[in-house]
Chains A and B, each alone.
Chain A
Amino acid sequence: MRRALAVVAFIAVWLLVLGGATRIPWSAPLLSRDQVTLNGQDFRPVMGAGVEDGSALGIGAIASDGNAMQSVPMDRLRAANYPLLTYRFEDFPRTLELLLVFRRADTPDDVQTVALPWPGDGVVTVDLHAASPAWRGEITELGFAEYATAQLVPPSIAFQPFRLDQARLASPAWNALPRLLRQAWFGYQPWSLASINVVGASADTNASMPATLVVGTVLSLLVCAFLLRGSRRQRLRSVVIAGALCWVALDARWLADLWAKHRLTESIYAGKSWQERARLQPDEDVAGFAQLARQQLADNRQPDRVLVGSDSTYTMLRLIYFLLPLNAAPLESAIAALPVRDWPADTIIVLCSSTHWHYDDSDATLRSDSRSIAVTPLFVGGKLAVYRARRGSR
């Protein structure tokens, strides 16, 4: 009798803990009361190209900026009633990242976005209410956007054709519990620049697997200790075994995630020479700018000093790294360190994707909000410009 009670209590504890972790309301039914199903063919390509493929939408090309997007108008759907999004893609490449895009009736000119877990070939369910505070009000348009995983995948090799099969919005229900937990705990997350600081997404509002396991295990042990009344030694052994099992479960999850991350790396770099791997940079545009700047400078006298500027700190620092061993440093640091008039003559300035600085042709001067530098243009083309500083700057 006690054992049967313990089993019932054990199940109740874990339902309580797992349900709490996924934030499913206790009043929710077993099956969703309301749902809206959108087949792939309901979506229209907004960026990139796609064709109907049965009930699905086949995405065969991306736009020139490397993105693809498909959307469908919605009839003022109340977001609060439909927090659960389930979606299914086929052959979705590991190299792409997926976004949910939507418009709300209260801000029709703004496009809201929510990063979605990589769909793979399976069905994925996420809680939009937990994933983004923007999921509220009335939804007037819904869609998906795809692009090369930022700062990880070279855009030139990221795209492969895939199919959008189906998306479904649903009201909260207990039958979503396993899918929500599977996604929150075992969903693939690609490496990011933040991965060196925190494992997983730092802003992740999903259920914490370590905390959930600890709470569930402690409650289970307490229930078992109360109902089964073993010896002190048996209880101690149970605690040790339960702790070890929790650790192994977390480690198995981490190993699976590590393996998934590595499969992406393999898909990009495996079987290639060192030179090819060096060329396949996630920011191949910046590497290209560095190559171009190097060529322009090679036509002139080897510069003593190169100052690099960009609106993006990442782009500026990457450009400096790609330019090595050229004697390069950040432009803004130089401006902060020393008045421009004291700079050595013939300093080279490389600007990349910079809207902060403007070249004034009338007096051959580079101007920002508060500075001006007398320069001689050496190369200006697209997002890259190379100048040689002259005396007479302020």
Chain B
Amino acid sequence: MNAAYFWAWLLLCTSGTLVALALSTPRRPGRVAMAIGYGVVLGMLAAAACAAFAARADTAHAWLHAAPWLAALGAGAAGVALYRQHRAPAAAPGTSENVEYWKYAVIAAALASLLWRGSIIASEVLLRPTYPWDAWDAWAVKAKTWFLLGHYVPFVGVADWLLGSTASLHSGPAWAYPSTLGWMQVWFASAAGAWIEQLVNLPWFALWVGMLFGHYGQWRAIGVSRAGAAIGVYVLGSLPLLTSHVALAGYADLWVATLFGFSMLAWLRWQERGERDQLLLALVCAGVLPLIKLEGMVWCLSLLAAIGFGALPLRWRLRAAALAFAVLLLVVLVGQAQMLFAAIGWVRSGSRVVDIPVIGKLSLAWHGDAAAGIVHSLFTQSNWHLLWWFLPPLVAWRWRALRASDALGLCSLLLLGCFGLLLFLFVFTDAAEWAESYTAVNRLIMHITPAVVSLLVLLWREPSARPAHVDTVAVHGRLHGPA
């Protein structure tokens, strides 16, 4: 490890944290943790964007070309953050939490276990060369090519590659995958001075740390007690499949999961607290999803649809839901339909086939074995500890609280919709084999898992911690005038 690698990390963490500070209301509980968490993740993505923009001609020194842009972004964000801090009203006197000593002991043990786990997976990342299949087959191919060639080359399909007149085109099985993570890896490889896979993969550990900090900060800002948020962080950080995706770094799924969770929390905070900057943060996180992974487009559109739906006045929501249901019913009854979705393109459905551009053509049929596979994945395998066992009873227990909170209700609807999409994909289409063979099923479920943990933590939240009279309609009114 060299000094440049250290400075590259410091720059992106600082710039990212300043951006997150600029996008968060001053003097809120958990602001620093939230800024660090969102900042590290957004900083890495901003570094990738700057490298893609400024370092195409000289990828071997990508971080040097991209650093001024990132520094400028950080400086601008620092100015905004300082301005907002200066204009913010004085903080209300904080209320001290009375926490019993045994709770301190429990929290300390939970955090110690996270620290030990973190030290193991950080060491694992720093020791082992890139290991899991898609990490070297798909995600690192562009980055390794660009860095070792010393310049950018476009990746195209094999036919175009063969027909191309020069060798400036490259190809590979994952040529169509988004390049964001590739550019981020170029940033770190150039800072390390060589293609050292362990150092190129270290961002996955930072992502895990950022995810935990970001969720803690947002939970605190939404009214969860320190003890509740700390236990929530332990629950999230202890999930085995998430830990595996850090230890075996290189897949894009943890990025999608983190950004989906970040976006939903920022949206929820906007709804509950009326902080407009959080809406912007939610849109940024949602907007980045398609740039990480093709399936991210589905989650991005789900989030945008939920945000739009939540911003509607109550009477319009019912009409919108009725309209959506009617369209769905019509599609099912008619059997054939074509719908144009923004950023996805034409989605076509026939009597036994549905063609979704980002996923492919899928035959429709019932797959009972896949349903059993999903149940097995959620409840008997060791991927999630007892997360999915706890979810139904906790929702039932806190049903009144869920119904009383417009924001929580909307988030639940979003997660229910996303889970329904996954169920449809695995149980009614060719993707069933992914569930039967336990390949993609857990990774796709993982995309919404941090958000599900957030839902559990917020359901567990003390009733007194919930905001009394801020609802989406009121917020909508403040933003756009009287409804």
Contact = CB atoms under 8 A, between A and B. Distances in A.
Interface of A: 152, 191, 193-200, 202, 204, 208-211, 213-214, 243, 246-247, 250-251, 253-255, 258-259, 261-262, 265-266, 268-270, 274, 277-278, 280-282, 304-305, 314, 317-318, 320-321, 324-325, 327-330, 333-334, 336-338, 342-344, 347
Given A197-B442, A208-B381, A255 B158 contact: no
A266 B438 contact: no
A327 B245 contact: no
Contact of B162 (A258, A270, A337): A337
A247 B385 contact: yes
Contacts of B196: 274, 278
A269 B385 contact: no
B446 to A, nearest CB: 10
Contacts of A255: 113, 116-117, 120
Given A200-B382, A214-B386, A262-B123, A325 B244 contact: no
A250 B386 contact: yes
Size range of the chain B interface in the assembly: 35 or more
A194 B241 CA distance: 11
- Chain A CB within 10 Å, residue with most, of B117, B129, B440: B129
Interface pairs A-B: 9 shortest CB-CB: A208-B380, A304-B167, A202-B438, A325-B148, A337-B159, A269-B127, A337-B158, A196-B132, A199-B240
Contacts of B440: 197
Contacts of A195: 132, 244, 248
Contacts of A336: 158
A320 to B, nearest CB: 7
Contacts of A281: 129
A199 B445 CA distance: 14
A238 B131 CA distance: 43
B428 interface: no
Interface string B162-184: 11001100111100000000000
B137 to A, nearest CB: 5
A interface secondary structure, majority: helix
Given A274-B194, A317-B173, A343 B132 contact: no
B236 to A, nearest CB: 12
Contact of B128 (A265, A321, A324): A265
Interface in B150-204: 157-159, 161-163, 166-167, 170-173, 194, 196-199
A321 B141 CA distance: 7
A210 B380 CA distance: 6
A199 B123 CA distance: 19
Nearest to A303: B167
B117 A196 contact: no
Contacts of A194: 438-439
Given A266-B123, A321-B136, A329-B172, A198 B158 contact: no
B56 interface: no
Contacts of B161: 305, 329
Contacts of A152: 131
B390 interface: yes
B382 A209 contact: yes
Nearest to B116: A255
B189 to A, nearest CB: 12
Contacts of A330: 158, 173
Nearest to A193: B133
B127 A277 contact: yes
Contact of A343 (B124, B162, B379, B389): B162
B433 to A, nearest CB: 13
Contacts of A325: 144-145, 148-149
B222 to A, nearest CB: 22
Contact of B390 (A243, A278, A320): A243
B381 A277 contact: no
Given A258-B243, A334-B162, A211 B173 contact: no
Nearest to A320: B172
A333 B173 CA distance: 8
B137 A321 contact: yes
Given A253-B382, A336-B158, A342-B163, 7 more contacts: A191-B247, A208-B379, A211-B379, A251-B385, A258-B120, A324-B144, A333-B158
Contact of B163 (A198, A318, A338): A338
A390 to B, nearest CB: 16
A133 to B, nearest CB: 18
A195 B442 CA distance: 11
A321 B438 CA distance: 25
Contact of B251 (A196, A266, A347): A196
Nearest to B380: A208
Contacts of A251: 113, 238, 385
Contacts of B120: 255, 258-259, 262
Contacts of A211: 379-380
A251 B197 CA distance: 29
Nearest to A281: B129
